[in-house]
Amino acid sequence: MLIDIIAGARPNFMKIAPIIREIEKANDKSGLEKTDRHYLEYRLIHTGQHYDRNMSGAFFEQLGIPEPDMNLESGSGTQSEQTGRIMTRYEQVLTERKSDLCIVVGDVTSTMACSITAKKMGVRIAHVEGGIRSRDWTMPEEINRVATDSITDYFFTTSEVANTNLQTEGVTDDRIFFVGNTMIDTLLSNTGKLQEPAVFGSEDLSEGAYFVMTLHRPANVDEEQKLKSLIDNIAKGTEGEKIIFPVHPRTKKILDELGISHDNLVYTEPLGYLEFIWLVKHARAVITDSGGITEETTVLGIPCLTLRDNTERPETVTEGTNELIGTNPEAVKPALEKLMSGDWKTGSIPQNWDGKASTRIVEQIQVLAKNGGLDFHTPYIDNALMFETTGE
Ligand code: UD1
């Protein structure tokens, strides 16, 4: 069988790496020939949504991800432009050779675009990290999640909350597999390989006495004055401790114009995975508006202050080390005071975040392949035509 694995943007790469590794292990273990129906042949398809070396290539090298079999080179643009390019080019790929299963991960534009194309071409969809919901329609990621899940065949979920969300939306239990978190598979398999980044020495940092910050969501970075107030309040609130701020390209464009500077604020380029996680693991705390980082800090036991009003990952708050501070710059001061006074929860690790999610995913795909769950399914367009014919 042929599986397409879709990856487009930075947070996708750590989610696909362990799945690919497990597919290769499963093939070695099964001893099947490539020609066997149940051999797991795969194509790694990079949509090209993220293309800078430090947003993409560096992750492939560090995480041992093979070179993509194809790159759709969708590049920058509005989300509709990116979606259009990805859909047109992936449709061409499927026209040349149709796959049996399309695995999409996360909630980025590439996730949604490839799901829609695959579904229309009659290819089954498996969504890794399906079912999570922020209920915030101002987030493009929420639109991507809901659109993807509305046409997904099989859901590989990270939490009981995700399972419940899907059940509430009418998904039957036989399509939901609570496997855990592939991002945590990557985290746990790399803890022995982490690399101290140059900024640790060059800024004379000490373990447990600096902050890591990431900001890229439109709600925080697109309004210049709000972004400035947020950063000013954060810089004041850390009592002189340094804040290491690897800057996302979207944020960089705005910051270059604003020119905000503080003695304790250190801008860097986006870091590689192994350097970034090293920095987080040794930090006093993380300040972020990312979703994935709240999962990593939960497992690492590092306090996390999230500059958002909601989260699609509530277990990082109810069980983990994360707290939602909101996006109001005024909320930063009391949150940092609480942190600096040592009054922060320690948290626990959510169920199934044990490094084995990808093993469970690949085992389940093998079961589905054997019991006919991945057999060709009639594309929607054929159904529509059938109705027309029957109606005559
Ligand atoms: C995307 C995802 C977001 C994810 C984030 C992680 C969507 C809707 N959003 O947001 O969920 O958290 O990635 O990084 O898919 N750019 C570069 N070089 C690159 C990539 C992007 O310069 O390698 C620039 C683009 O030209 C654009 C900006 O960064 O101006 C934003 O990139 P884009 O892919 O549109 O979305 P992100 O904000 O990165």
Question: Region 173-177: what's the mean pLDDT?
Answer: 96
Tokens of 84: 């259009």
**What pLDDT does 391 receive?**
44
- Predicted pLDDT at 320: 98
4 lines ligand 1 (CB under 6 A): no
Our CA dihedral for 151, 152, 158, 161, rounded to 10 degrees, sits at: 40
Ramachandran area for residue 61 (φ above 0: left; ψ -120 to 50: alpha; else beta)? alpha
d(C-alpha 124, C-alpha 110), whole Å: 16
Residue 252 Cβ contacting ligand 1 at under 6 Å: no
Taking the C-alpha atoms of residue 147 and residue 215, their distance in angstroms, rounded to an integer, is 25
Question: Is a pLDDT exceeding 70 seen at residue 376?
Answer: no
Alpha helix positions (H), the chain: 10-30, 57-62, 79-96, 109-120, 140-151, 160-168, 182-190, 198-202, 218-221, 224-237, 249-258, 273-281, 292-300, 315-318, 332-340, 357-370, 380-391
- Residue 307: name the closest of 210, 377, 226 by CA: 226
The yes-or-no verdict on residue 387 having pLDDT over 60 is no
CB of 10 sitting under 6 A from ligand 1: yes
Strand order in the sheet with 285-288: 265-268, 242-246, 210-214, 285-288, 304-306, 322-324
* Protein residue closest via CA to atom 36 of ligand 1: 250
Q: In what order do the strands lie in the sheet with 124-128?
A: 70-71, 41-46, 2-7, 101-105, 124-128, 154-157, 176-178
Ligand 1 touching residue 76 (CB < 6 A): yes
Measuring CA to CA, which residue among 260, 204, 195 is closest to residue 229? 260
Task: Give the model's confidence band at 321: pLDDT under 50 very low, under 70 low, under 90 confident, else very high.
Answer: very high
Phi, psi values for residue 61, rounded to 5°: -65, -50
Does pLDDT of 34 surpass 50? yes
Residue ID of nearest Cα to ligand 1 atom 20: 50
Q: How remote is the CA of residue 142 from the centroid of ligand 1, in Å?
A: 15
Distance 30 CA to ligand 1 centre (A): 39
297 CA → ligand 1 middle, Å? 22
Is the pLDDT assigned to residue 71 strictly greater than 50? Answer: yes
**Rounded to a whole number, what is the distance in angstroms from the first to the last CA of the chain?**
38
Domains in the chain: boundaries: 2-180+356-390, 198-340
Q: What architecture (CATH level 2) is domain 198-340?
A: 3-Layer(aba) Sandwich (3.40)
The pLDDT of residue 384: 46
The 10s digit of each residue's pLDDT in 268-313 is: 999 999 999 999 999 999 999 999 999 999 999 999 999 999 999 9
Residue 313 gets which letter from DSSP? Answer: -
| Protein residue with least CA distance to atom 32, ligand 1 | 250
pLDDT of amino acid 379: 52
**CB of 83 shorter than 6 A to ligand 1:** no
What's phi and psi for 20, nearest 5 deg? -60, -45
Q: What is the DSSP letter of 39?
A: S
Q: Per residue in 136-159, pLDDT tens?
A: 999 999 999 999 999 999 999 999
Our mutation pick for probing the ligand 1 site, out of 82, 108, 220, counting the most ligand atoms within 8 A of Cβ, is: 108
Best residue for ligand 1 mutational test, from 134, 136, 250 (most atoms within 8 Å of Cβ): 250
Q: What is the mean pLDDT of the chain?
A: 94
Residue 193 near residue 274, CB atoms below 8 Å: yes
pLDDT digits (tens, 9 = 90+) for 221-247: 988 999 999 999 999 999 999 999 999
Q: What percent of the chain has pLDDT over 70?
A: 96
Residues involved in catalysis: 216
Q: Is 197 in the pocket of ligand 1 (CB under 6 A)?
A: no
DSSP 111: H
Whose alpha carbon is nearest atom 18 of ligand 1? 52
Per-residue pLDDT tens over the stretch 327-363: 999 999 999 999 999 999 999 999 999 999 999 999 9
Asked whether 157 lines ligand 1 (CB < 6 A), one says: no
Backbone angles phi, psi at 271, to 5 degrees: -95, 160
**Long-range contacts from 170-176, C-beta under 8 angstroms, 24+ separation:** 171/131, 176/130, 176/131
Model confidence pLDDT, tens digit, residues 37-68:
899 999 999 999 999 999 999 999 999 999 99
- Closest Cα to atom 25, ligand 1: which residue? 76
Residue 378: pLDDT band (50, 70, 90) is low
Per CATH, 2-180+356-390 and 198-340 having the same topology is answered yes
Distance CA 321, CA 338 (A): 13
Q: Which atom of ligand 1 is nearest to the CA of 54?
A: 23
User: Which segment of 68-72, 140-144, 374-378 scores lowest on mean pLDDT?
Assistant: 374-378
pLDDT at 174: 94
Name the residue among 315, 320, 313, 316 with its Cα closest to residue 348.
320
How high is the pLDDT of residue 374? 85
Residue nearest to atom 16 of ligand 1 (CA): 249
CATH level 3 topology of 2-180+356-390 = Rossmann fold (3.40.50)
CA of 247 relative to ligand 1 center, distance in Å: 12
pLDDT reading at 85 higher than 60: yes
Specify the pLDDT at position 382.
Answer: 45
List Cβ neighbours of 238 (8 Å cut-off, separation of 6 or more): 211, 264, 336, 340
Ligand 1 near 49 CB (within 6 A): yes
In this prediction, residue 371 carries a pLDDT of 87
Task: Note the pLDDT of residue 326.
Answer: 95
